[in-house]
């Protein structure tokens, strides 16, 4: 609907200009013969049609551009990963909405900021080596580090970077930022589980008399407690035949007599 209104306005504007031009011609050439006037009118009409066709083509191109912009917004700004472009000095030249959201900032607040200010202090060397390797080898590189959010929290990010050049042939670094916090959490849990399994497979200090086990903190605890804490196993209690004889001899004797 909007494009139709624009088109009609353009046509009306062209028609108005054509009528004004025709009026001027009538005033300037009052001595023209009827045949000459007819020829001038014909040329004006042809010219108007040409302009209308050009206008229709411009409107079509404008519509395609609007569709392309909408597609760009969907693919770039609303992508599931963050996109940003860094200058050779490490300044943020461009960033999509996803990356701004990851940091809890407005996109405008990121432009011309030093990217390293958003990197967790302990991971600064990781990014330095990543960037150095990228420019030295001139090939795509990746690394994992922690990024700082506006509210003081942090998240683990996987960065994939490659080099490109601007229209002025200046080198820039194009980066995708993927939040891998959940993967890191699962990795930590898996590592913890593996460590627990290794503990049980290693040397377990156990008392030769009471059979208690010394835990990682140096305290002695019952065998059942130790295994419950380090595995998914559960215990059910009973009495073996040898202990029955030792602990309940009368019960066994009565049972034998009854037989």
Each residue of 190-237: pLDDT tens digit? Answer: 888 777 666 566 677 888 888 788 887 888 888 788 777 777 677 777
d(CA 156, CA 97): 18
DSSP 8-state code for residue 231: S
Order of strands across the sheet that contains 82-87: 92-95, 82-87, 171-179, 154-165, 141-148
The pLDDT of residue 117 is: 94
The pLDDT of residue 7 is: 59
The arithmetic mean of pLDDT across residues 10-23, rounded, is 71
d(CA 194, CA 201): 10
DSSP string, 50-67: HHHHHHHHHHHHHHHHHH
Each residue of 78-134: pLDDT tens digit? Answer: 888 999 999 988 999 999 999 999 999 999 999 999 999 999 999 999 999 999 999
Each residue of 56-84: pLDDT tens digit? Answer: 888 888 888 877 777 766 677 888 899 99
Residue 256 has pLDDT above 60, yes or no: no
Residue 242 has pLDDT above 90, yes or no: no
Each residue of 161-181: pLDDT tens digit? Answer: 999 988 888 889 999 999 999
Read off the tokens for 100: 């701004």
The pLDDT of residue 56 is: 83
The pLDDT of residue 201 is: 65
The pLDDT of residue 91 is: 94
d(CA 227, CA 234): 8
Residue 147 has pLDDT above 80, yes or no: yes
Residue 255 has pLDDT above 60, yes or no: no
Which are the contacts of 215, defined by CB distance < 8 A and separation ≥ 6?
Answer: 221, 226, 229
The pLDDT of residue 224 is: 80
DSSP string, 164-220: EE-TT--EEEEEEEEE-HHHHHHHHHHHHHHHHHHHHHS---B-TTT--EE-TTS-E
Handedness of CA 96, 97, 103, 105 (dihedral sign): positive
User: Is the full-model pTM beyond 0.75?
Assistant: no
The pLDDT of residue 178 is: 95
């Amino acid at each position: 609907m909007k494009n139709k209104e624009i088109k009609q306005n353009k046509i009306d504007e062209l028609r108005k200009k054509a009528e004004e031009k025709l009026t001027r011609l009538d005033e300037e050439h009052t001595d023209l013969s009827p045949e000459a006037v007819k020829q001038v009118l014909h040329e004006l009409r042809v010219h108007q049609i040409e302009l209308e066709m050009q206008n229709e083509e411009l409107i079509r191109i404008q519509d395609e551009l609007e569709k392309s912009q909408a597609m760009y917004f969907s693919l770039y700004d609303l992508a599931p990963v963050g996109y940003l472009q860094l200058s050779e000095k490490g300044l943020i030249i461009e960033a999509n909405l996803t990356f701004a959201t990851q940091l809890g900032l407005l996109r405008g607040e990121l432009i011309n900021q030093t990217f390293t200010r958003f990197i967790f202090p302990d991971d600064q060397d990781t990014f330095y080596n990543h960037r150095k390797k990228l420019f030295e080898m001139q090939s795509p590189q990746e690394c994992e580090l922690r990024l700082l959010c506006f509210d003081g929290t942090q998240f683990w990010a996987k960065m994939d970077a490659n080099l490109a050049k601007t229209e002025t042939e200046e080198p820039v670094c194009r980066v995708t930022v993927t939040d891998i916090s959940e993967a890191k959490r699962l990795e930590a849990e898996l590592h913890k589980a593996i460590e627990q399994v290794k503990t049980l497979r290693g040397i377990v200090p156990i008392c030769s008399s009471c059979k208690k086990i010394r835990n990682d903190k140096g305290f002695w605890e019952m065998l059942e407690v130790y295994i419950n804490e380090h595995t998914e196993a559960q215990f059910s209690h009973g009495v073996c035949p040898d202990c029955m004889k030792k602990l309940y001899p009368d019960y066994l004797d009565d049972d034998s007599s009854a037989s």
